[in-house]
Chain A
Amino acid sequence: MNFEYAPAPESRAIVDIKPSYGLFIDGDFVDGHGTAFKSVNPATEETLAEIAEADAADVDRAVKAARKAFRGWSRMPGRERSKYLYRIARIIQERSRELAVLESIDNGKPIKESRDVDVPIVAAHFFYYAGWADKLEHAGLGANPQPLGVAGQVIPWNFPLLMLAWKIAPALACGNTVVLKPAETTPLTALLFAEICQQADLPNGVVNIVTGAGATGEALVTHPDVDKVAFTGSTGVGKAIARSIAGTDKKATLELGGKAANIVFDDAPIDQAVEGIVGGIFFNQGHVCCAGSRLLLQESVAEEVMAKLKRRMATLRVGDPLDKNTDIGAINSAAQLARIRALAEIGEDEGAERWSPPCELPSAGYWFPPTVFTGVSQAHRIAREEIFGPVLSVLTFRTPAEAVEKANNTPYGLSAGVWTEKGSRILFMADRLRAGVVWANTFNKFDPASPFGGYKESGYGREGGRQGLSAYLKAGA
């Protein structure tokens, strides 16, 4: 008997990728005045489309359009604003398969993730914040909270559409208008979202999308008429943004890097923990700021967990993102692949033991096998630096106090995981872990009602939930 999987590719026919895309400003697609660039399918290296680059003047036009739209949008009764957001949520649901396929093509993530995780949460996020738009006086920020104005938002390539939703939905619900810059390697779903705004008859200028790389982002966050900066991305760029807005009245939320500890105690449900470990680091190719990239195993179960983890890793299917059986898709870009490779080599050079299951990688495209390092010490760079790829570093501990010490021994503080059957120990650990999200006996769960964001150098501010509103409101008179 042959139990091999047959290919089960999702059809690309549902998406219609244009040869070139402009900027979305004041309700229309317009030409950019920078140097156009290409968006590439990371699984095949084929060029998908040519994308306009917004230069400083284009960014200025977008900010002006957002400023002009702010007057009407901010004064519109919340119940009317909310209906626009509900419309957008519905259209996202209606066009969900198209969005999922496009996301997988442009980003490289498996279709089962874009279809079952990203896009459903995107729609849910718009639904959640739609319902806040006419209830802001109950948000705990005073009787008459006011929007901030024009929000300049810069998002990463790992969850292109989801990060767009996290940024745009609360901003609009609170009465702000936005200029959003998607990542240069993953602009396509943001541009499709612009079409969705047109279908929803969203007033012109409420949402503007400017494409480009770092220079475009810098022009946006430093624009003097931007009142609010929201950024998700690397800690290095987050610090640069914090410096660039020093001395201004701009408010900022920064959702940055992480090096989360995923802590497994000896009484944990080991099989469930192994699933959580795998999901924690290999979900989305490890391109996750809150990935459980440092596995802390209690010594007494380390061997057992590692044996089961390796067995499980050997079943992971790496390959075509559009194949419904694929677990791990393509690395998003050549640059990111080079960074992952470099850090993995450093891990070996520093003496950690590297292991990957046998796995055939496609010849074209950017790929990295699921990888685990054992014998890692806290001083190793692979235990300290965010790799942002499918690479897990394993450390061990003996006591809960040692686990806390090691877990918190990082400048980051975005997320953490705890696996144990003992309730009091979960709460003990949750209390002491310096991280914005603690997953106990689960990992990498996201929900629009659940605030997300970091301690320390993982940034500041929260996205999601009631707390996410305070990023886009100020106390009213």
Chain B
Amino acid sequence: MARIDVRKTYKLYIGGAFPRSESGHSYEVQDSKGKFVANAAKASRKDVRDAVVAARKAFPGWSGRTAYNRAQILYRIAEVMEDRRPQFVQAVQQSEGGSAAAAGRQVDEAIDRLVWYAGWADKLAQVVGNANPVAGPFFNHSAPEPTGVVGVLAPQSSSLLGLVSVVAPVIVTGNTTVVVSSYSRPLPAVTFAEVLATSDVPGGVVNLLTGDAASLGPWLAAHMDVNAIDLCGLAGDDAVTTELEVAAADNLKRVRRAPAAEPDWTAAPALSTMTDFLEIKTVWHPIGV
């Protein structure tokens, strides 16, 4: 008799642990052909709030790491993904359809993107910060700092490359994040969370929720302890993104607006993917004997 396979329970990733949704809700996930694959946890408002608490708690430690250390950890994520490449190819193909080769290119690009962002950790301050030659006897310089806890609504179509392309730029600079995955293609995101959990990324730096961006987004956008939000996952839904931008104004969150349509994730990323979630701090000190 053929062996019966052991199937995985797909859960949320909050504070370094893998809980189910506190709501007890889940939803059916289908493959690209409409066949049932698994039940994913359906994150609730309370899960969002728990994730924000975890992200805030992780922020001082993560932003306080050296840039070199953050680079090492992002590179480590890429290493572990490479190691599990076949699993990701299978997951992406299952979610998005197409050929195994096409899915493989997505996975390769996602891994390479992590390597690209890893390298930025100890260089970005040199590119976007500088000394300021003020008209007086003062040392004066400006350098970027992470803005804090960033809410990310990940893209709906590109289940892995898109996800990595919005998460890596947020955390490489020292932010922590609460991510809502693609609703209909959430499983690569959960597998990605399992990679994060085994790549020396401290718990709480990335919190990953599977569920509906349109229903979870408003809670993230209105949360007073979230500093910024990326609305990418609601691309094309102008009514909801406008509502979220209005909610985000309550504590003047930095908002990365949703594009009109999901972008081509294979294109080279802009620096703004990182700088949109940075603050420039300027320090003055007198010069004298």
Residues of A near any B CB (own CB < 8 A): 124, 140, 235, 238-240, 242-243, 246-247, 254, 256, 411, 426, 430, 435-442, 445, 447, 449-453, 455-457, 459-460, 462, 465-467, 470, 475
Contact = CB atoms under 8 A, between A and B. Distances in A.
A243 B284 CA distance: 34
A85 B272 CA distance: 29
A467 B280 contact: yes
Interface string B156-186: 0000000000000000000000000000000
A442 B241 CA distance: 43
B268 interface: no
Interface stretch (B1-9, B15-23, B32-40, B129-137): B129-137
Given A140-B127, A243-B246, A465-B142, A452 B282 contact: yes
B148 to A, nearest CB: 8
B133 A449 contact: yes
Given A243-B246, A449-B134, A475-B270, A457 B284 contact: no
Contacts of A442: 138, 284-286
- Count class of interface residues, chain B: 35 or more
The 10 A-B pairs at the shortest CB distance, nearest first, are namely A247-B242, A246-B245, A242-B249, A447-B134, A440-B285, A449-B132, A243-B249, A246-B246, A450-B132, A438-B283
Contacts of A140: 127-128
Nearest to B129: A467
Contacts of B134: 445, 447, 449-450
Given A436-B279, A453-B280, A455-B147, A246 B285 contact: no
B66 interface: no
Contacts of B130: 465-466
Interface string B257-289: 000000000000010100100011111111000
Nearest to A141: B271
A467 B141 CA distance: 12
A441 B250 contact: no
B238 interface: yes
Contact of A441 (B246, B251, B285): B285
Given A246-B246, A430-B281, 18 more contacts: A235-B252, A238-B252, A239-B252, A246-B242, A247-B238, A256-B252, A436-B281, A437-B282, A438-B281, A440-B283, A445-B136, A447-B132, A449-B135, A449-B140, A450-B140, A450-B282, A451-B280, A467-B142
B244 to A, nearest CB: 8
A243 B254 CA distance: 13
